[in-house]
Structures are given as C-alpha cells and as structure tokens.
Chain A
Amino acid sequence: MSERLANRIKSEREKASLTQAALAELVGVSRKTINTVENGVFTPSATLAIKLAQALGVSVEQLFWIER
C-alpha cells in the first residue's frame, strides 16, 4: 500500500496572509522548496517540517499527515 505525506501548508499559509516567498524567508529556504513541499513533490526533513509548523503557528501533526 502506498503512503504519501499530505499537508495543509497552503491553507494555513493563506490563513496567516503569507506568500510563499514570505514563508520561505521565515523558515530559511527558497520559495521553490516551499512550492514543492506544498504540492507534495518534495518530502521535507523533520527540521523543515518543525520550522514550517512553528512559522504557521500549528503543530507538525496538524500541518502534515500520512495519506494511504
């Protein structure tokens, strides 16, 4: 059974009125990394996942979950 890491970065980012570039600057990665994580193309490291959750003011579990 295939599993993938789903996320709600886009909705949380929009809720916080942040652009991809602004969120990228907050967590210290490029905009394209935010874009690929948002679209599920790239699975972020634990460090980046925690930084994203902190920047968006939610827990990692709220931001990411495993979809089967």
Chain B
Amino acid sequence: MTAVDIAERKARVRAFGCLFIAALTAAVMVAVRRGWNSDFPQGLWLGLLVGSAVILLPINRWIRPSSPVVRFLDDEGTRENRRLSCTLGFWAVIVVALLFGFASHFEPGIAGEEVGQIVATAGIASAMVAFAILELRAAR
C-alpha cells in the first residue's frame, strides 16, 4: 500500500470522524441546554469543541512536516477545503449571532452562556460538516 493509498484511507476516516464529532457536539450541546447541566457534559462539550478546532487546523503538518503520508493528507486540495469550511463556519457564526441579537428583543432573558454555547457549536459543527462533505466529494 502506497503513501497515497494510506493518506486516502485516513482522509476518508477523518471525514466520517468530522461528521460524527459535529453531530456529537451538537447533541451534547442540546442535552446541556435541556437540563443535563453538570460538570461532565459541560466539559465534554468543551472538549469536543476544542477537538473539532484542532481537526480543522493542519496540526499534523506542523508536527510532522516531513512525513509523506501527512504531506498527502494535508495537500493543497485539503488546504482549500479547510479554508472553505472555516469560511462557512464563520458565516454560520455571524448568522446565528445576528439571530440571537434579533431574538433578544422578544426574549431578553437569554443567558450569555447559552448564546455562547449555541453560537460556538453552530460555527464549529457547520465547518466540520462542510469539511467532511468537501473531502468526501473530492474523493469520489
């Protein structure tokens, strides 16, 4: 099996992992907002959020720049997909933040923590889903 094949397999696993982590992050956030509000789910949500942010950064390329598999795994096509997905995440954050700004006129009791969690989850989850879709589409 060549480095190209290994990188392709890893890229597919990473893309499905992105979808799974995005869904899990959103599910944990919903559970926290619906009352499962102890330290564990809060920590789990934060951990998933940080993990997602790490996946969206080319950490492997910074840590192991000379690895051939990493070079194939984080090539310019993947960099473009990262850029596009992070841009989409940025716009998701803007839209959700504006929606909360609008909603606060009718519901002034929205907690800052709630807004922060929902906005951050929307941004990360949409970026992760977009990255996964772009990667899977490119691999077809």
Instruction: Tally inter-chain residue pairs, CB-CB below 8 A.
Output: 54
B78 to A, closest residue via Cβ: A30
A: contact size bracket? 10 to 19
Provided the pairs A35-B139, A36-B138, A42-B138 are in contact, do residues A21 and B76 lie with their beta carbons within 8 angstroms?
Answer: no
Asked if A57 CB lies within 8 Å of chain B CBs, one says no
Q: With a CB–CB cut-off of 8 A, which chain B residues contact A44?
A: 76
Is B47 an interface position by the 8 A CB rule? no
Q: Are B71 and A32 in contact, CB atoms less than 8 angstroms apart?
A: no
**Residue in chain B with minimal CB distance to A32:** B138
A residues with CB within 8 A of B: 21, 24-25, 28-33, 35-37, 41-42, 44-45, 48
Chain A contact residues: helix, strand, loop or mixed: helix
Enumerate chain B residues within 8 angstroms of A48, measured Cβ to Cβ. Answer: 76
Give how many B residues have a beta carbon under 8 Å from the other chain's beta carbons.
20
**Cβ of A32 and Cβ of B76 under 8 Å apart?**
no
A-B contact pairs, 8 of them (CB 8 A): A21-B2, A21-B5, A21-B8, A29-B76, A30-B11, A31-B8, A33-B76, A48-B76
Chain B residues lying within 8 Å of A42, measured Cβ to Cβ, are 77, 80, 138
Q: 3 tightest CB-CB pairs across the interface, nearest first?
A: A33-B77, A32-B138, A29-B75
In the complex, what residues of A have CB within 8 A of residue B80's CB?
A: 42
- Assuming the contacts A21-B2, A30-B4, A30-B8, asked whether A35 and B76 have C-beta atoms less than 8 A apart, the reply is no
The answer on a CB contact under 8 Å between B75 and A30 is: yes
